[in-house]
Amino acid sequence: MTLKHVSFLTRDLRATLAFYEGLGGVTEKDMLTHEGHRRGVIRLGDGKLQFFQIEAEGPQTHPHWAEHIAIHVGGLRELLPRLKAAGVTVTRDLQPSPGGRDMAFVLDPDGRQVELLESGL
């Protein structure tokens, strides 16, 4: 298992990316997702931070998965049924990720979203 990224919400994606670039980070993505969300990814050494822009004004609605921890795991198709049997809450069942790998979202004991992404190793 390895950490893929940690994902946060931001009100100003460009300012957030510029801040982390000023700390030595490198912007890998600054894009609009196919669901219509502004998304940025900054590489900091071996790790990544991912940000989704939310509205500065108005109701603070965002996808339930926007803030999450992403972890590469091996054998996700076998792991997910074991997690379900152990009572772990699955918030997004097994499906292909945008990159084509198996992925699922579960909740940790404190209710944080955890993206499980097949490592392919």
- Cβ-contact 29, 39 below 8 angstroms: yes
Per-residue pLDDT at 20? 85
* Backbone dihedral angles phi then psi of residue 110, each to the nearest 5 degrees: -95, 5
18-31 burial, b at 16+ Cβ within 10 Å, e below that, comes to eebeeeebeeeeee
H helix intervals, the chain: 13-22, 76-85
Long-range residue pairs from 38-43, CB within 8 A, at least 24 positions apart, any chain? 38/13, 39/13, 40/10, 40/13, 40/16, 41/5, 42/17
Going from the N-terminus, what domains does the chain have, and what CATH number goes with each? 1-56 (3.10.180.10), 67-121 (3.30.720.110)
Q: Which residues, including other chains, have CB under 8 Å from residue 30's CB and lie 6 or more apart?
A: 13, 14, 17, 39, 40
Residues of the chain with pLDDT under 70: 55-65, 110, 121
Indicate the average pLDDT of the chain. Answer: 85
pLDDT digits (tens, 9 = 90+) for 74-91: 889 998 999 999 999 999
Per-residue pLDDT at 64? 63
